[in-house]
Every structure is written in C-alpha cells, then in structure tokens.
C-alpha cells in the first residue's frame, strides 16, 4: 500500500490543485486501499481546500468510491435484467456459501467483499461479475467457485 | 415505408489500419465549415439515445464565441442492455479518437475528454497506451488538439451529459437545468460538443466514405446504420451493426428464439414492444428509437419481474435531486408491488400511470422523464401479468 500523501500529490501533479482533481484522488485511494477512511477524506478536503462535507458528499454519490471498509477483493455481481434472467441469483448463492458471508458483507480476514451492482455492459454474456477491475463473464456456479479459489490462493 | 429489411453492415468495426491517417489528412485539408456541412448532410443523429443531429450540434458549438471549447466523448454506457461502446473502445479505439479530433477541429476545441465508466477500468491500460501515440500523431499532422481520459465511478446518471460534466469537474453527478445547453455552456461552463462513442466513429466513417454513401442507408428520419446490443432470450446474443429502418418483426425473425413475446427497445428507459405490434413498429426515429439496447423476452418470462427490475434500477440510480423522480421512482415500484400483493385495486395502476406521466413533465432530466416509457408500455400491454 502506498502512503496516501503520495497518491494525493501524484494526482495533484497530473490534474492540478483544483476541484477537478477530486475524483482522480478519490479513485486513486480506492484503487490502492479498497476504500476511503474518514481521516483520508479530511486530508483530501484540507489539501484541496474544500469542506469535509463537500468531499464526503461527492464520494458517497458514487458507488465505486467506497467510504466503508471493504475487503482486498471487492466482488460486484450484476443484478440487472439480462443477468437476472441468465441466473445471477444462483451465482450470488454460490458466492455466499463459498465465502460464508451474505451480500454486502466482508469476510473476517478482510479479503473479500460481496456486493451487487447494476448493468456492467456484458449483458450478452451474463451472469457477470467484477472483482476489483477484472471482469468475469459467462459465469456458472462451478466457474465462480474456481475463480474464488484462485483469489484465495493469491 | 416498410421497404427496409434486416441488413448487416460493417462500418464501425471495419479495421483497415490506415483509416486514421487517411481521414485525418482529408479533414485537415478541409475548411471547418465544410466538415460540419458534410456531417449535417449525412443526416447522422446521435447514437447515445437522444438522437440530436450531430452536424447541428457541432455547428452550434462552433458558432459560440469562446477561446475555450471542449469535446467530450460519452463512454459511460450505463443503459441496461447496452454494451456496444465497450466493444468499440476495445477493438477500434483509434477510430473513436479520430472522431473526437474531427469534432475538435470543426468546432475549434483544443481539448477532448473521453469519460469512461468505472466498470470499463480494465480497458484503461490499453486505451492510455494507444492514446499517447495518437496524441503525438495528431500534433505531427498539425492538429492543435489533445485527448485526455477521465473515469466515472459507478453512477448511471453520469451518462446524462450535464451530470457527466459535473463529474469531470469533481462534483456529485447531478444534472443541471437546461437551457443553457452544452453547446453554449457545458464542461467548465464553456461551449462543449458531447457525443456518444458510436456517433464519433460514424463521424470518422462519414469523413472517410462521404455523406452521400451514408445517406443511402436507412430511412428519411433514421439515416445510416447503427450498432445493436442484443441480449435476453435469444440464441444470438451479441453486437450487430444493422441498417436502420427494419421492423421489430424483421429483427425478431433473425434474433428471436421462436417464442418472443416482447422486445424492450432502448434499454430500461426505452419502450416495450409486444408481439402484436412487431410487424408495424419500425426501429428508428419514426417508430421506436434506441441507443442500441434490444432485450428479448420469451413467453416464460413474467413481465411483472421485468418491470420491477427496471423500477428498482431507476429507484437506485435516480440522483435524488428533484422530487418527482426521487419519490416517483419509489412510488411506482411500491405501487406495482402492492397491486401484485392484492393490497391495492388493479385500477391503482392507472393512478401510477398518471404519476409516470407527471414525472415526464416535471422531472429535471431524462432519467425521471423517461421512466414512463417502460412503465406505460409494459402496464398497457401486459396488465394481467402485473396484476395476477
Ligand atoms: C439518464 C441518462 C443516461 C444517459 N447515458 C448515456 C450514456 O451512457 N452514453 C451516452 O452516449 N449517452 C447517454 N445519455 C445521453 C446523453 O445525455 C447525451 O445526449 C449524449 O451523450 C449525446 O451524444 P450523441 O448526440 O452522440 O448521442 C444519457 C442520458 C440520460 C438522460
Ligand atoms: S430526474 Fe431523477 S436523475 Fe434526473 S435530476 Fe431529477 S432526481 Fe436526478
Ligand atoms: S444486465 Fe448484467 S451486464 Fe448488463
């Protein structure tokens, strides 16, 4: 993990110390640390000279800018219509059993968080899930178990 | 009018390797107004859903007197059932960059932003590499234009143009009041031409082959071809470029599974076409317009579940800024659930339809305004499935 100051400075160098640097900074923190802590939000606010409420309000608007603790691997299963018809419920059941958590929860070892999300642009190959930025289309329960096993081994 | 049959086209994904260079050289040698005239003449309308004539959008942006102007490529692609922009960016990204450059040259913009949804982060590495080379290439060719990439963070509403601008500016993605339109005051308050990924690739192809050949395809109101994202109950799910002007029936004959009872044209915010209307309904601006999402449902599907899925989507993705949409989406969802459970009389559906119509008139942006499309078309055509 990178020091949060390093991430902030890197983004400011690229995007300037203006408001438009806010999204890239928050995205950078999530990419490195999976979620943004309260202290980090305060630090970002101070650095960009914005109110803490404004930064918090912006972060919480976006589902990918998590401000609650998340595991190292955030699993997002598509729940929208085409994936629903293709069997996303079975995939979620399988993942819940495999990871011993419910939707919305994080494993005790902080490795996995299981979430649902809306259409991710793979409707012809549903059901589909994202693990962090990685896409896994055309899932079956067996495939989902195998993919999780790979991540557990990492 | 029903003379068009289903015809496959290969323009968007055509990949001859030299396209970028030939088109850029050709455009560089033309006057800005001539490029815009060619676009107007082609009849190309925006492929992101709203269908505004692209040439006119560029003309309005050029007409504004401002030192700073911007081009934005909308790659937020959040409409359920749409996945063609991902494929375009994955396979022919350079043609998207060329389209942005043509737009920039025509309107006098020096910076172009490609706003891409977070779900497509996996494309970023490749896109950035290609883009670095491309930015150098256009400088060498004498274009005063640079393209940068900005990422979304999981919000469907950021596909709405003014919400997208807010997002690039580092704010909550809440749509703005219109007017002013983006061509007058868009990104950072400056004149901005914003186009969908596919629209920009068509711009590239129109400059390559000329407006005349593009115009030969399609109909009076819907010129050219379009990329369709086909999903649901079909043996042929995938991405297809088809000439515009076919009927839903033509489409179902090719893509259906023999038991198609309805096609949702245009995604969750689009219109549900039931079997009895397949033969007369043209896919295009004269019938059902679409950003490309075509979802097929066969007789095993409950249209109640389909509508409920859509309403859940809208209730979650509503930005919450205006009351008709924030409350309306929830009430529509709770309303059909109550009718289903028998807690409300079936005639309550008519009150809900009125609510959806009110949202069309009073919601601030296209999200809230378009919920009536799926709601009324599903309730009208599949009322028994909603009630029982
Ligand atoms: C809720 C909502 C979501 C939208 N999402 C997208 C999108 O993901 N991609 C897109 O190109 N246009 C989207 N649009 C349409 C844009 O606001 C805009 O009209 C379009 O980007 C213009 O490009 P075009 O003229 O090339 O179609 C959306 C509109 C609304 C109201
Ligand atoms: S219509 Fe819905 S999405 Fe649009 S501004 Fe209003 S609340 Fe936000
Ligand atoms: S519905 Fe799941 S990716 Fe589109």
Give me Rg for the CA atoms of chain B: 21
Question: Is B289's pLDDT higher than 90?
Answer: no
- Tens-place pLDDT, residues B42-59: 999 999 988 999 999 999
Q: How far apart are CA B50 and CA B166, in angstroms?
A: 19
Please report the DSSP string for B131-195 in residue order: HHHHHHHHHHTT---EEEEEE--S-GGGGSHHHHHHHHTTS--PPPPSSSPTTTS-GGGS-EEEE
What six digits make up the tokens of B374? Answer: 């799926």
Which DSSP helix (H) or strand (E) runs through B75?
A: strand B70-75
Asked if B252 and B230 count as a contact pair (C-beta separation under 8 A), the reply is no
Pairing of strands B70-75, B111-116: parallel
Q: Exposed/middle/buried for B362, CB within 10 Å: 0-12, 13-18, 19+? A: middle
Q: How far apart are CA A96 and CA B192, in angstroms?
A: 46
CATH fold of B19-214 reads Rossmann fold (3.40.50)
Nearest CA-CA partner of B386 in B275, B306, B313, B310: B306
What six digits make up the tokens of B169? Answer: 């500016």
Q: Check CB contact under 8 Å for A64 and B168.
A: no
Domain ranges of chain B: 19-214, 303-387
Q: What pLDDT band is residue B3 in, cutting at 50, 70 and 90?
A: low
- Tens-place pLDDT, residues A45-87: 999 999 999 999 999 999 999 999 999 999 999 999 999 999 9
Return the pLDDT at A2. 87
Q: Check CB contact under 8 Å for A20 and B78.
A: no
CB atoms within 10 A of CB A131: 16
CA–chain centroid gap for B128, Å, is 24
Name chain A contacts of B311, Cβ cutoff 8 Å: none
Q: How far apart are CA A115 and CA A69, in angstroms?
A: 13
| Mean pLDDT of the region B10-24 | 91
Q: What is the dihedral of CA B40, B42, B45, B47, to 10 degrees?
A: -130
pTM of full prediction above 0.95: yes
Asked if B122 and A135 count as a contact pair (C-beta separation under 8 A), the reply is yes
Q: Which of A19, A58, A119 comes nearest B78 by C-beta?
A: A119
What six digits make up the tokens of A142? Answer: 């067996």
Q: How far apart are CA A22 and CA A48, in angstroms?
A: 8
Q: Between chain A and chain B, how many beta carbons pairs sit less than 8 Å apart?
A: 116
In order of A35, A93, B189, B236, the CA distances from A120 in angstroms are 20, 20, 30, 19
- Max CA-CA distance within chain B? 69
Return the pLDDT at B242. 96
Domain ranges of chain A: 4-61, 73-153
Residue A83 Cα: closest atom of ligand 3: 2
Is B250 in a helix, a strand, or coil? helix
Which residues does residue B218 pair with via DSSP β-bridges, in sequence order? B223
Q: Check CB contact under 8 Å for B78 and A118.
A: yes
Residue B90 gets which letter from DSSP? H
Phi and psi dihedrals of B169, rounded to 5? -75, -5
In order of B145, B160, B335, B352, the CA distances from B347 in angstroms are 58, 34, 11, 9
Q: What is the distance in A from the centroid of ligand 2 to the CA of B48? A: 18
CA angle B45, B46, B52 (to 5 degrees): 70
Q: How far apart are CA A73 and CA B67, in angstroms?
A: 45
Name chain A contacts of B232, Cβ cutoff 8 Å: 81-82, 85, 123
Asked if B161 and B194 count as a contact pair (C-beta separation under 8 A), the reply is yes
Does residue A152 line the site of ligand 3, with CB under 6 A?
Answer: no
CB atoms within 10 A of CB A11: 22
Is B122 in a helix, a strand, or coil? helix
Q: How far apart are CA A67 and CA A55, in angstroms?
A: 11
Q: Tell me the residue length of chain A.
A: 154
Does residue A117 line the site of ligand 3, with CB under 6 A?
Answer: no
Residue with tokens 């793979």: A122
Return the pLDDT at B49. 85
In order of B11, B221, B227, B256, the CA distances from B244 in angstroms are 13, 10, 10, 18
Contacts (Cβ under 8 Å, ≥6 apart) of B334: none
Domain covering A73-153 in this structure, CATH number: 3.40.30.10
Considering every ligand atom shown, identify the ligand nearest to the alpha carbon of residue B51 and give its number.
1
Contacts (Cβ under 8 Å, ≥6 apart) of B349: B335, B336, B339, B379, B383, B386, B387
Which 170-189 residues of chain B touch chain A by CB within 8 A? 170-174
Establish how many alpha carbons lie within 13 A of residue A34's alpha carbon, considering only the half-sphere containing its beta carbon. 17
What six digits make up the tokens of B102? Answer: 């043509």
Return the pLDDT at B1. 45
What six digits make up the tokens of A120? Answer: 């991710």
| Mean pLDDT of the region B62-67 | 98
Is B267 in a helix, a strand, or coil? coil
| Mean pLDDT of the region B158-187 | 98
B303-387 under CATH 3.40.50.10490, yes or no? no
Question: Is B2's pLDDT higher than 70?
Answer: no
Q: Does B67 touch chain A (CB under 8 A)?
A: no
What six digits make up the tokens of B53? Answer: 């004539």
Q: How far apart are CA B378 and CA B272, in angstroms?
A: 6
Helices and strands in chain B: count of H runs, count of E runs: 16, 9
Encode chain A (154 residues) as per-residue pLDDT tens digits.
889 999 999 999 999 999 999 999 999 999 999 999 999 999 999 999 999 999 999 999 999 999 999 999 999 999 999 999 999 999 999 999 999 999 999 999 999 999 999 999 999 999 999 999 999 999 999 999 999 999 999 8
Q: How far apart are CA B239 and CA B228, in angstroms?
A: 6
Q: How far apart are CA B97 and CA B148, in angstroms?
A: 10
What six digits make up the tokens of B261? Answer: 């009872």
Which 87-116 residues of chain A touch chain B by CB within 8 A? none
Asked if A94 and A145 count as a contact pair (C-beta separation under 8 A), the reply is yes
What six digits make up the tokens of B322? Answer: 């205006």
């Amino acid at each position: 993990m990178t020091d949060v100051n390093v991430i902030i400075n890197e983004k400011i160098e690229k995007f300037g110390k203006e408001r438009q640097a806010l999204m890239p900074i928050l995205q950078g923190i999530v990419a490195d640390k999976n979620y943004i802590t309260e202290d980090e939000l305060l630090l970002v606010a101070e650095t960009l000279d914005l109110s803490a409420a404004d930064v918090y309000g912006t972060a919480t608007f976006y589902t990918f800018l998590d401000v609650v603790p998340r595991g190292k691997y955030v699993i997002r299963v598509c729940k929208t219509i085409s994936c629903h018809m293709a069997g996303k419920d079975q995939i979620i059941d399988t993942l819940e059993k495999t990871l011993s958590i419910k939707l919305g929860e994080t494993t005790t070892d902080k490795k996995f968080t299981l979430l649902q999300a809306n259409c991710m642009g793979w409707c012809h190959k549903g059901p589909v899930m994202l693990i962090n930025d990685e896409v896994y289309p055309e899932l079956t329960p067996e495939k989902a178990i195998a993919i999780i096993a790979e991540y557990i081994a990492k | 009018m029903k003379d068009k049959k289903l015809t496959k086209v290969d323009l968007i994904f055509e990949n001859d390797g030299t396209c970028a260079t030939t088109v850029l050289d050709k455009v560089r040698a033309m006057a800005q107004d001539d490029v815009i005239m060619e676009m107007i003449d082609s009849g190309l309308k925006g492929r992101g859903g709203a269908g505004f004539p692209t040439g006119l959008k560029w003309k309005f942006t050029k007409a504004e007197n401002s030192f700073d102007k911007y081009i934005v490529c909308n790659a937020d692609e959040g409409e359920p059932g749409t996945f063609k922009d991902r494929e375009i960016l994955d396979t022919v990204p350079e043609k998207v960059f060329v389209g942005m450059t043509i737009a920039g040259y025509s309107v006098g913009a020096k910076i172009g932003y490609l706003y891409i949804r977070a779900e497509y982060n996996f494309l970023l590495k490749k896109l950035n590499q290609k883009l670095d080379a491309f930015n150098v290439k256009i400088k060498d060719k004498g274009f005063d234009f640079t393209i940068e990439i900005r990422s979304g963070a999981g919000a469907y509403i950021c596909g709405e143009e003014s919400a997208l601008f807010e997002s690039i500016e580092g704010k909550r993605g809440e749509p703005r009041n219109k007017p002013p339109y983006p061509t007058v005051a868009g990104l950072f308050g400056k004149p901005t031409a914003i186009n969908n990924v596919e629209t920009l690739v068509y711009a590239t192809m129109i400059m390559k082959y000329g407006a005349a050949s593009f115009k030969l395809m399609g109909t009076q109101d819907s010129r050219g071809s379009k990329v369709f994202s086909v999903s649901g109950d079909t043996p042929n799910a995938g991405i297809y470029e088809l000439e515009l002007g076919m009927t839903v029936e033509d489409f179902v004959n090719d893509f259906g599974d023999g038991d198609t009872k309805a096609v949702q044209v245009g995604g969750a915010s689009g219109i549900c076409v039931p079997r009895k209307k397949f033969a007369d309904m043209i896919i295009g601006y004269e019938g059902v317009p679409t950003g490309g999402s075509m979802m097929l449902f066969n007789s095993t599907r409950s249209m109640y579940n389909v509508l409920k899925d859509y309403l859940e989507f809208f209730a979650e993705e509503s930005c919450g800024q205006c009351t008709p949409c924030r409350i309306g989406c929830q009430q529509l969802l709770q309303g059909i659930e109550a009718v289903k459970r028998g807690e409300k009389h079936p005639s309550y559906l008519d009150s809900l339809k009125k609510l959806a119509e009110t949202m069309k008139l009073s919601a601030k942006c296209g999200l809230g305004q378009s919920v009536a499309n799926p709601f009324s078309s599903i309730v009208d055509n599949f009322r028994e499935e909603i009630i029982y």
